[in-house]
Structure 1
Amino acid sequence: MEAIEEISQFLDIGTRLDLKSIALQHVLSVTGSNDGIELLLSLPEIVRQLVLLVQDNSTSVCKDAALSLINISAYDGGANALLVISETSKMRPDEKPNDNLVHTCLRCILDKQNDLADPCCMILSNLTRAHSLTERILAVVNNSGYAWSAIIAAFTAQKYNEKGATLHYLGPVFSNLSQSITMRRYLLDKEHCVIQRLLPFTEYVESTVRRGGIVGTLKNCCFDTEYHAWLLGPKVDILPRLLLPLAGPEEFNDDDNDKLPIELQYLPENKTRDSDPDIRTMLLEALAQLCATREGREILRDKNVYVILREFHKWEKDRAVLLACENVVDILLKKEEEIGLDNLREVTIPEEYKEKFKKMDEEYINDS
């Protein structure tokens, strides 16, 4: 504790570069363990100094500070501490350096010449991971002076950052924040149709992080049943984007083929399915959410989703993914008279049955 406290005096942004670098490297090594992070969190001024050092004139200092903050933000207590610093910042948005980490990360991400754009995306991804923090982070973002439209534009641009940053980790940021109804209302705004700009990334083979983040975002948006008809309609047309990563090269007879969305008809012989089981599960969970409403179920049946899932089930080996697939198929094969409800989300399941179903699922997944 005393050694870390002594180091604090050398972490000032105005300190001589060599002393500052040595002190920062020591702090970075301390963030390599949970005990070390706990120690730093007991000294919030040092954590605040790290935020300021991300904006240092020295590239090496900036990178070491960013790595330290990535490690700290990955720790639940660290994410909250960093958010508190941002929330209580007394600095103006135009001040630099700035101790509002959320604001600072957004500034770096939206600066096309910034070398720290990707580390800053990773920091935001960590900060937004805890569901309990999402509304607070959204409030800080909304007070940052940066618009979500600019952030989405940076993410969807072909090559936004001129220094080679990919911004892939904005995908998990969107996924994490879309747990909040506030964020989903923005993404599902019918006038601006923001969600449609994210759809192409369900097949973004260059990055599992980006692809998984967007699939997670779409899955979260499918929880809002009042938007199902719009999501499945021509304005958004989400269904082909959810099905294509689950589809293989199988050929169907003309009758089955003609019922499929046009994008899934006559797929090439080299068509492959998504390689990541977690992403495949999220795609199936999104389809399951779309089955919550009668209108959604009828559209999925009319679009012959079953035949894609039938072939997918033959191919899939992961038990957890198979279970997710079977959950969708079971609903689609039932007649509406058997289901007896327009909206399955309105069903109240007693707690004892929830535990029973959970146990049955676990037994299925673990059954070798």
Structure 2
Amino acid sequence: MPTELEELVGFITNPSQQIRLVAIENLVPYSTSQPDVFKADKLVPIKNLKLLVKDHPKIAEHVITILINLSADREVLENLATDEKFLDTILSFVTLPNEPNANLLSMLLANLAKWDAFQSILARKQSPPKELGSDDLVMNQLMDLFVKGAEGTYNKDADYDHLSYLFADLTKHAELRHYFVRKQDYDGVIPITKLKVFTEHKSHVRRKGVASTIKNVAFDVPSHPAFLDEDDINILPYVLLPIIGNEEFDEEETMAMLPDLQLLPPDKERDSDSAIIQTHLQTLLLLTSTREAREHMRAVQVYPVVRETHKKVADEGVREACERLANMLMRDEADAATQAPTEVTADDDDEDDKVVEV
């Protein structure tokens, strides 16, 4: 005989909307404590849950929450991430300006990116809502959602912060890195330049995901000249500012620094998360891959910033990253040229390689 919990799972397909709502609301805790109950009968409950994403927004809210939690399971993750019709549904819903569950859908998308084949999203197209002002490429739509969500100017119920985790995971793949450094035809903008402005945003999730995305894209060494060019991507100020505090530099060092770093307020604070600081330091280390980049970073006084960060941040990971970066910048060029930042690895940024849970 079925258990009470199994009977409860069965109620999610009840014709009565009220019964479905009560059942699904009561099932949310079990998506973390007893997830296997949703995998019965060759994932039939998962199939039903995917259909309920289209149900009443309150029911859909609980359904998406359950799917977010269940996507920690590789079998469920594969089922979700490879279901084309399901992906069509959530991608069309997340872009709607009046979608009340857009933030939850953003979290779910971030988790689905854990499945490597999800990188095929790069070729995915759909008609964008006219309010979004994007083109038919889904990646461009997600980028525009993320930008407009920062100030709540698109959907009053969503900030889309967790899309930054999606971007971080996707940029583990070379083809997606290339997307982020290519000017898009519809607006003439390079996608990574849309993200760089959020390295000091108030949202910890947004800062963390953006930092990891920038770091991952920095594995594309041929793009480094554009990264460092003040008239192109110009990434250095946006990577350095989060790791600078209110320390004072001597006049000679200050005058040689990038303009954005020269007139900082006395109450300037570095990022409160040492993991984010470490990520930015690893990005800088990746940018030392070529002699031209190393010489440029020396010229604009990156080393003093690293030196002061090493003094002020009592975190082993940060201090080690500072030491490795300082070693690349301060040693003789003949030695530096033989040392590659091989120990830096790509991030899939959602808290220690775990899926987001709600």
- Common topology (TM > 0.5): yes
Deviation at 1:137, TM superposition (A): 1.2
What CA distance in whole angstroms lies between the structure 2 residues aligned with 1:9 and 1:39?
11
**2:211 aligns with one of 183, 198, 215:** 215
Give the aligned partner of residue 357 of structure 1.
Answer: none
Contact 1:121 1:169 in 2 (8 A): yes
Give the aligned partner of residue 130 of structure 2.
Answer: none
What CA distance in whole angstroms lies between the structure 2 residues aligned with 1:140 and 1:150?
11
Write the letter of the residue equivalent to 2:119: L
Give the aligned partner of residue 224 of structure 2.
Answer: 228
Deviation at 1:323, TM superposition (A): 0.6
How many pairs align? Answer: 325
Contact 1:316 1:322 in 2 (8 A): yes
% identity of equivalent residues: 29
Deviation at 1:8, TM superposition (A): 5.3
Contact 1:109 1:167 in 2 (8 A): no
- Report matched runs for 1:109-124 at 5 Å: 109-124=94-109
Contact 1:284 1:325 in 2 (8 A): yes
Q: Secondary structure at the match of 1:258?
A: helix
Deviation at 1:324, TM superposition (A): 0.9
- Report matched runs for 1:144-159 at 5 Å: 145=126, 147=137, 148-157=139-148, 158-159=151-152
**2:161 aligns with one of 168, 171, 182:** 168
- Report matched runs for 1:39-54 at 5 Å: 39-43=37-41, 44-54=43-53
Deviation at 1:221, TM superposition (A): 0.8
Q: For residues 26 and 263 of structure 1, do their structure 2 counterparts lie closer, same or farther at Cα, with a shift above 3 Å needed? A: same
**Per-residue CA distance 1:157-214 (angstroms, 9 max, x = gap):** 1324433311110111111111111111110115641111111100102x11011101
What CA distance in whole angstroms lies between the structure 2 residues aligned with 1:105 and 1:160?
21
- Report matched runs for 1:275-354 at 5 Å: 275-341=272-338, 344=340
What CA distance in whole angstroms lies between the structure 2 residues aligned with 1:214 and 1:20?
38
Contact 1:32 1:71 in 2 (8 A): yes
Write the letter of the residue equivalent to 1:174: F
User: Gapped runs of 5+ residues in structure 2?
Assistant: 127-135, 345-358
Contact 1:112 1:160 in 2 (8 A): no
- Report matched runs for 1:43-82 at 5 Å: 43=41, 44-56=43-55, 58-82=56-80
Give the aligned partner of residue 142 of structure 1.
Answer: 123
Write the letter of the residue equivalent to 2:279: M
Write the letter of the residue equivalent to 2:91: L
**Per-residue CA distance 1:241-281 (angstroms, 9 max, x = gap):** 10000111222222111110000013111000000111011
What CA distance in whole angstroms lies between the structure 2 residues aligned with 1:64 and 1:144?
28
Write the letter of the residue equivalent to 2:66: S
Deviation at 1:7, TM superposition (A): 4.6
What CA distance in whole angstroms lies between the structure 1 residues aligned with 2:72 and 2:237?
34
RMSD between superposed Cα atoms in Å: 2.2
What CA distance in whole angstroms lies between the structure 2 residues aligned with 1:41 and 1:81?
11
Q: 1:263 and 2:260 equivalent?
A: yes
Deviation at 1:82, TM superposition (A): 1.6
Q: 1:274 and 2:267 equivalent?
A: no
Write the letter of the residue equivalent to 1:60: K
Q: For residues 143 and 269 of structure 1, do their structure 2 counterparts lie closer, same or farther at Cα, with a shift above 3 Å needed? A: closer
User: Gapped runs of 5+ residues in structure 1?
Assistant: 90-99, 355-368
Deviation at 1:105, TM superposition (A): 2.4
Give the aligned partner of residue 19 of structure 1.
Answer: 19
Write the letter of the residue equivalent to 1:38: D
Deviation at 1:321, TM superposition (A): 1.1
Q: Secondary structure at the match of 2:28?
A: helix
Deviation at 1:237, TM superposition (A): 0.8
Write the letter of the residue equivalent to 1:154: L
Deviation at 1:118, TM superposition (A): 0.4
Deviation at 1:282, TM superposition (A): 0.4
Contact 2:329 2:336 in 1 (8 A): no
TM-score by length of 2: 0.84
